[in-house]
Structure 1
């Protein structure tokens, strides 16, 4: 067991600082104060973050930490933290580590016993959820789906029986294909909401069924970053039926629903907590 005091510990500290998801007025006074007083800022994109720093008159030096340099950068930053550096970490928008880089440095700092201090702030998923009109709790945050269609179907099949409101992120150029995948797995009648350009001038909510939202998106070129919210499955008896039966029967149900044999085996293996290779061998030996 490890217990670390956030504020009373001396030496290096890692502050996790949320940044606005669009409207700069959403920057908190505490976030500004922290970014001004730390020794170093680890930023997803230093050029993007520099515009934010300039806006608030923050002169603290920043260094990049992103998906492509994390293997080299995390050990360097950890060494600085262990040497007593007080550091802030931020992504381009919203919460660090939530569908953004950052979790590796947090994990390394926690393992090393360095205080990790989170600040509350902007988050696109929750911002969209409370205005969606869908059940705000319980909810299941997923973030970005895989870009490949077959992988999307696999992921969505694992989520289709969840009773919680589902929250996804998506880029405008992939929105139509992702909604097509959702219609294919969840059905066209499932209630859903598209939240676009949250906190910005052209903020917009589109509410309806997945089929209606797909038709809406198909008639225009989507712009801006999107949050997709999908109502949970309100047919528990149907969900129970889909997950009943022998492993072979469940695999064959998934195949009937449109998955390939290998993808169906993968879905059922995860559902049952069985190794995919073991279930694959069992299925083909039946």
Structure 2
């Protein structure tokens, strides 16, 4: 079985990200295919693993070639439980773990996603925006002129399709993206900014752009979700 194991979202006050009933499934896994090794080790400290974390096999997905990936899937098919974990939230969603899951399906290996937090869905749930029609883009364009044009285009699509638009951003660029959103979006467009989801300082707030301009959000360098819905 290939287990898809969620990891904590909040960096400040991380909490157990899986159901207590699923802990035995997590604890039996001695091989972990992860996005990055350092945050994976930090996440594993919350699972009360029966062996020392240093004794687990932790492999970064991006560093595995095609043969290595296939070998791990064959091991899992043969009866060895192997886990996939993202840096934060659900593996396979905005995460390279999807590549391993796709290979598992190709090689007829069973996959078992465990229940856990997804920052995308939590932000959408808490935003009050349209949860019937939404689109997650990942990161916005990096170059400012392209980003500004892109923001205006996504707003047009949001208005035409009644679609909630969702993005994430590298934390040190939060302020620049907020400035761009408040400048490029229409004054009556609803904008939600969410950070520290599931943490003790969780913040989810939706207002019109006009209201935000009076007091812009200030997440600092916390990982954020940004959602907007045109009027």
TM-score of the alignment, normalized to the shorter chain, above 0.5: yes
| 2:3 pairs with one of 10, 15, 22 | 15
Cα displacement (A) at 1:230? 0.7
Shift in CA distance, 91/166, structure 1 to aligned 2, threshold 3 Å: same
SS of match in other structure, 1:24: coil
Q: CA RMSD in A?
A: 2.6
Q: Which is worse superposed, 160-169 or 44-53?
A: 44-53
SS in 1 for 2:82: strand
Task: Give unpaired runs (5+ residues) of structure 1.
Answer: 1-12, 235-286
Structure 2: gaps of 5 or more residues: none
Give the TM-score normalised by the residue count of structure 1.
0.66
Q: Quote the offset at 1:206 in angstroms.
A: 3.0
Q: Give the aligned partner of residue 127 of structure 1.
A: 122
Kindly indicate whether structure 1 or structure 2 has the higher relative contact order, using CA contacts under 8 Å at least 6 residues apart: 2
Distance 2:71 2:7 in 1: 25
Cα displacement (A) at 1:100:
2.3
Q: C-alpha deviations, 1:18-62, integer Å up to 9, x for none?
A: 122123144322442222113411122223222332333213713
Indicate the larger mover: 22-31 or 36-45.
Answer: 22-31
What is the rounded CA distance, in whole Å, between the counterparts of 2:61 and 2:144 in structure 1?
26
**Does the C-alpha gap of structure 1 residues 31 and 174 become closer, same or farther in structure 2, counting only changes over 3 Å?**
farther
**Length-normalised TM-score, structure 2:** 0.80
Q: CA deviation at 1:215?
A: 5.8
Equivalent positions of 1:1-286 (< 5 A) are 13-22=1-10, 23-58=14-49, 59=51, 61-67=56-62, 69-70=63-64, 72=65, 74-83=66-75, 84=78, 85-153=80-148, 155-160=150-155, 161-162=157-158, 163-183=162-182, 185-213=184-212, 216-217=215-216, 222-231=220-229, 233-234=230-231
Distance in 1, matches of 2:68 and 2:140, equals: 31
